[in-house]
Amino acid sequence: MHVVRRAHGAPVAVVAALPLGRAATLDAACRRLVAPVVAHAREHDLADRAVLTPFQLVLAPGEPEPDVVRVRNAAALQRCGVSNPRVDLVVDLDGSGSEQAVLAAYGYREVASLRRTARGVPVAVWVADAGPGGLAGLLHDAVRTEHGHPPHEGPGPGEALLAALEGFHDDTVLAALAVAPPDVAPRRAAERVRSWVRESVERLLADEPALLDLVTRRYVAPGATHEGVMRATYTSRATYFRRLRRARDLLSAGQRTPHE
């Protein structure tokens, strides 16, 4: 739980956000409140990088100040424990028109079947699925739209392969990629992405053994740096980066997703 305070310390808002998989760690009263939400998420395949927000409240009476709402929501995302969330499930205990307008503006939809009353308080549930690009992609598209550009179509499988190479030794980075299997522990998801990367690189660079060796030395070997690989292969800087660019172009152009 996070409390938003004014500069002089007075509390103005409170919010709680956590990974959906940690709902069981909530206290008994909160578990009862969110149990229908968790069941809905499981039933409708909304568990991929899902954040559960059991409550988000503004403490002052009346319609909330927009700046307070922005700071509160930013705090929730910063502390939710999910890197670039895809799904957000918000339990709305406030019911204010401005809160609902903000949710609707960012693509949330109310789940009418989960509308109910708990201890005399109206409860509504709002859900947003930002797609494989996650919240970062959703915000990026919003900015592009404001500037008159079409939404970004998202990274293709080749871009995903390059991103996986860059983060090859970081479980958190690999598990957050769209190509990682959902509903799998981060370490297992990362290992499956690594297997896909190794198979893809070997297949796509099979006819270019020098490039395969270069990519393996730079990205797959632990602790490698550009300078270290240049020294180990007795390659000039210009030649090294020219070959590396060619290898990356081949990998980007020829890659399929793990599911194809």
pLDDT at 54: 85
Q: Name the percent of the chain lying above pLDDT 70.
A: 90
The answer to whether residues 6 and 122 belong to one domain is yes
The answer to whether residues 164 and 129 belong to one domain is no
- Quick check: is 140 in a domain? no
Residue 80 belongs to domain spanning = 2-135
Query: Residue 99 belongs to a domain with what CATH number?
Result: 3.40.630
The answer to whether residues 130 and 7 belong to one domain is yes
What are 223-235's pLDDT values in tens digits? 899 999 999 999 9
Mean of the pLDDT values across residues 143-166?
Answer: 71
The answer to whether residues 130 and 163 belong to one domain is no
Which ranges constitute the DSSP H helices of 85-222? 97-105, 134-146, 157-166, 171-176, 186-204, 209-215
255 has pLDDT over 60: no
The answer to whether residues 125 and 53 belong to one domain is yes
- Quick check: is 260 in a domain? no
Long-range contacts of 39-48 (CB under 8 A, 24+ apart): 40/89, 40/111, 40/113, 40/114, 40/125, 40/127, 41/87, 41/89, 41/127, 46/87, 46/89, 46/127, 46/129, 47/20, 47/21, 47/87, 47/182, 47/183, 48/86, 48/87, 48/182, 48/183
154 has pLDDT over 60: no
pTM over 0.75: no
150 has pLDDT over 80: no
The answer to whether residues 105 and 215 belong to one domain is no
Under DSSP, is residue 17 helix (H, G, I), strand (E, B) or coil? Answer: strand
The answer to whether residues 35 and 88 belong to one domain is yes
The answer to whether residues 121 and 14 belong to one domain is yes
The answer to whether residues 20 and 56 belong to one domain is yes
Longest alpha-carbon distance in the chain: 74
The answer to whether residues 11 and 124 belong to one domain is yes
- Quick check: is 6 in a domain? yes
Number of domains in the chain: 2
Which amino acid is located at 94 in the chain?
A: D
Q: Looking at the chain, which runs of residues are DSSP E strands? A: 2-5, 11-19, 50-58, 87-92, 109-110, 116-118, 121-129
- Quick check: is 228 in a domain? yes
- Distance separating alpha carbons of residues 106 and 170, to the nearest angstrom: 31
- Quick check: is 143 in a domain? no
The answer to whether residues 107 and 18 belong to one domain is yes
pLDDT at 158: 67
The answer to whether residues 14 and 95 belong to one domain is yes
